[in-house]
Structure 1
Amino acid sequence: MRNCFRQNKIVLIFAIVLLALYASFVFFMYTPWYTATQLRFAYQNNNTTLLMRTIDLDSVVSFGYDDVTGDLFTYNSNMPPKIKQIFDQFYKLIKKNVCDGTLTMLDTYLKDDVWHDPTGTSVLKGRELGIDYDELLERSMLRNTSVRKIGSLIKDDNGNYIIPVTVADRYTDTDFVLELQLQKNTEGIWQITKIINYRDYLIHVRDLCNVDIASYIKDTKDRTTEYNRIFQGLQTKFLTMTKTIGSDVSADKRTLIQNFILSEIIPAYKSHEEYLQNVNVPAGALHLHILRLQSNAKTMEAWKYFAAGIGKNSKASLVKAEYSHQSALVLEQKVSDIINKMPALFVPEIP
C-alpha cells in the first residue's frame, strides 16, 4: 500500500512537472523571444515554412513599399512640391496592386528559390501600371541583399522589441544592421511587422553606389562619346540610304541595305560590346554596366533581325527587329535614368 502511494506520488509529481513545462512552453510561445528563436532556427536550417510564421509579410511589404517609393526621390531635391505631390498620389493609387504582386512573387521565390518575372495576367508584367517593376525591385534591394548574422532580441528606448540582422548588399558587399520590429498579432503571437531603418539602408547603399557610378561614368565618358558619335553617323547613313524606299523595294536595294548593316553597323556594336566587356567596373556601378551591355546586345539583335528581314523580305524577322528595338529603348532609358538620377520609368506622365 505504501509502495503504491509512493508510486502514485511520483507519477503525480512527474505529471505536474510536465504540465509546468508545457505551460512554460506555451507561455514562451507568446513572447518575442520565441519568435526571435524561431527566426534564427529557420534561417540556420533554411526552413521557409517556419520563417514565414515569424513574419507578417503583408505588413513588411506594405511598409517597405512606402520606403522604396519615398527613396525614389531622394536625389531629386529640385522637384517642385506640386509635381512631387502628383507622384505621391500616383504611388498611393498603385500600392495595393504592386504589394499584392510582390507577395505573389515572394511566395513563388520561397518555393522555388528563383526570382521569376511576372507573367500571365499579372499587372506587374511589362509596364501595365506605368512603372518598370523589375527596376523597382532592383531599387528595393530585395533580390540583392544577403543575411550575414541574426543578432539577439533587444528592447529599444521606445519599448519596441527589435531583432538586429546584419546584411550585405550584392554590389558593395558592405555590412549594414537592419532593425526588425516585432509586434503582437490578433492571436497574441509576436511577428516581424516592419524593418524600422529600411529606408536608411536603401539610401546607404545608394550613396555608396553613386560614388562608384560617378567614377565609372567619368572613366568611360570619352569612349562612350566616341561610340555614340559613330552610331549617330551610321544611323544618318542608314536613314539617307532608306529615305526614298517604299513597300516595293528592289532586290538590289535590299542587298545593299543588308550588306551595310552586316558590314558596318553590326561590327560597330560588336566593337562596343568588346570594349564594355573589358572595362574595369567598380562594384557599385555593376547594375548600370549590365544595363549598358544588355542595351547594346538588344540593339545589335534588332539590327541582325532587320538585316535578315530586309534581305529576305521577311515580315516575321522585321517584327522581331521592332520588338528587340523597343526592348533596347527601354534599357537605354534605364541607363539614362541612373546617370541622371531621375526615376523616369516610375512616374506618371505630367501634362
Structure 2
Amino acid sequence: MDDYTWQKMLRQRRVRQRRRLYLLILLLAACIGTAIWYGFFYTRTPEYALKQLSLALDQHDSARFQKYVNVEVLSSRAYDDLTVDLFAYDSTLTADTKAMFEKFYILIKPQLTKGLEQSVLGRIDSGSWSLPEGTDILKGRQLGIDFERFLERSQLRNTSFVSLGNVEHNGTTVTAELKVREDYTQTPFTLQLVLEQSKDGHWQVVYIKNYRQYLDTIAPLQNSDIASYIDNTESIVEAYNYDFIAYRQRFRELSATTNGRLNEQQRSRLAKLLENEVIPALKKRQQRLDEIDVPAGAQYLARQRQQSTETTIKAWQHFIKGLRENSQAEFSTAETLHKQELAIDLRIQDIIHHTAISKNIPNLP
C-alpha cells in the first residue's frame, strides 16, 4: 500500500471518528436538554399535574394526590356548593328555620370538610369508601347530620372518571375539563377543574368551577326517580305498616310486667311472635319490594330499605336468642343492631322528604 492510499484511509477514519463524536455530543446534549425541560419546565405544567393526579388514583397514592390537589381549599368550596344544594330541596323549612340552620352548617363546616377529606383520601388509599368510626364526632348523628347521606348527596361515591378534555390557560389560572359520568342515571357531565401554581412552581387543583351545576343537574334526575319509586311501592309499605303496628301492640301486651322482668311463658310467647310472624312478614315485605323495578336514581333508597330489613331481622334473631337463653349479651347485641336500624330508617325518611337536617336517634325504652 503506497503512502497516498495510507494517508487517504487515515483521513477517512478521522472523519468517521469526528462524526461519531459529534453524534455522541448531539445525543448527550439532547438528553441533557430533555432532562432540563422535564425537570424544570414540564413538571411545572398543569398537564403534568393532571397526569400525576391520574397516577395517584390508579396507584392508590394519597400523598401524591395531596401534592397536586389543594384538598383543604377544594373541600371548603365544595362544601359551600353542597350545602346550598341540600337546602334547595328541603321544603319542610320555613324561611327563619332555614336561615338558622344555614348558620349552623357554617359552624360545623370544619368538622364536615375534614370528614370529607378523610373519606376521599381513604378511598384513594384503600379503594373503598369508609365512614367515621370510634369516637369521631361525625359518627352517627351527633352534629344533627347523617354523614353517610351527606357523603351520598355529594355524588362523590357515584361519579366515575371518563377522560380528560381541553386544558385552557387563563393567565395565572388554568381550567381543565374532566369528563365524568354519574353512575346511577348514567348522566355524562364535564367538570371544570381550576388549577393554580403553588409557591414551588407545581400546579394544583384548587376548586371545581361548576360543581354546583353538576349537583343541580343530577339531583332533579335522582329526585324524580325517587318520587316514582316511592309511588310504586307506597301500597306495599302502607299495607305492611298496618301489620307491624299490630305486631308492636301485641309485643307490648305480651311483654307487660309488674316488676320489669319477663317470666318464662312471656319469653316463649314473644319468641314465637317474632319468629313465626314478625320476621316472616319482614321477609315477605322485602320480597315484594324487590319485585318492583327500581328507577336508576332511586337505587340508593332501595338499598337502604334492603339494609333496614336485613338489620331488623338480625336484631330480632339476637333478641329471640336472648329470650330463649336468658342472655344479656344477646339482648345487648340486639339493642346495638336496633339502633343501627333506627339510623337507617331515619335516613330513609330524610331521603323521601329531602331534609337537610337529620333527626337524632330516639332513646330506646
The answer to which of 138-147 and 318-327 deviates more is 318-327
The answer to which of 271-280 and 167-176 deviates more is 271-280
Alignment of 1:1-351 (within 5 A): 20-25=33-38, 26-39=40-53, 50-76=64-90, 79-155=93-169, 160-244=173-257, 246-345=259-358
Residue 261 to residue 346, structure 1, CA distance change in 2 (3 Å): closer
Give the SS at the match of 1:151.
strand
Give the SS at the match of 2:166.
coil
Post-superposition Cα deviations, 1:154-198, rounded to whole Å, max 9, x if no partner, equal 247x98521111111121111111111111212232211111111
Post-superposition Cα deviations, 1:247-294, rounded to whole Å, max 9, x if no partner, equal 333212221222122111111111112222222111110001111111
CA RMSD of aligned residues (A): 3.0
Q: Are 2:163 and 2:179, in contact at CA under 8 Å, matched by a contact in 1? A: yes
The answer to which of 45-54 and 81-90 deviates more is 45-54
Distance 2:254 2:59 in 1: 64
- Unmatched runs of 5 consecutive residues or more in structure 1: none
Q: Are 2:233 and 2:289, in contact at CA under 8 Å, matched by a contact in 1? A: no
Residue 187 to residue 263, structure 1, CA distance change in 2 (3 Å): same
Residue 311 to residue 11, structure 1, CA distance change in 2 (3 Å): closer
Distance 1:90 1:197 in 2: 25
Q: Are 2:232 and 2:292, in contact at CA under 8 Å, matched by a contact in 1? A: no
Q: Are 2:90 and 2:356, in contact at CA under 8 Å, matched by a contact in 1? A: no
Residue 7 to residue 288, structure 1, CA distance change in 2 (3 Å): closer
- Cα displacement (A) at 1:46: 7.3
Q: Are 1:306 and 1:318, in contact at CA under 8 Å, matched by a contact in 2? A: yes
Distance 1:12 1:290 in 2: 66
Distance 2:72 2:217 in 1: 25
AA aligned to 1:90 is: F
Distance 1:93 1:286 in 2: 32
Residue 309 to residue 183, structure 1, CA distance change in 2 (3 Å): same
Post-superposition Cα deviations, 1:191-246, rounded to whole Å, max 9, x if no partner, equal 11111111111221111111111111111111111111111111122222223454
Give the SS at the match of 2:108.
helix
Residue 8 to residue 314, structure 1, CA distance change in 2 (3 Å): closer
- Unmatched runs of 5 consecutive residues or more in structure 2: 1-13, 361-365
TM-score, normalised with respect to structure 1: 0.86
- Cα displacement (A) at 1:104: 2.7
AA aligned to 1:101 is: G
AA aligned to 1:298 is: T
Aligned residues: 346
TM-score, normalised with respect to structure 2: 0.83
Distance 2:19 2:332 in 1: 91
- Cα displacement (A) at 1:54: 2.7
Distance 1:320 1:47 in 2: 38
Post-superposition Cα deviations, 1:275-327, rounded to whole Å, max 9, x if no partner, equal 22222111110001111111122222222222222233222222222222221
**Higher Cα Rg, which structure:** 2
Q: Are 1:101 and 1:122, in contact at CA under 8 Å, matched by a contact in 2? A: no
Residue 234 to residue 100, structure 1, CA distance change in 2 (3 Å): same
- Percent identity between the two aligned chains: 32
Residue 186 to residue 159, structure 1, CA distance change in 2 (3 Å): closer
Give the SS at the match of 1:134.
helix
Residue 48 to residue 308, structure 1, CA distance change in 2 (3 Å): closer
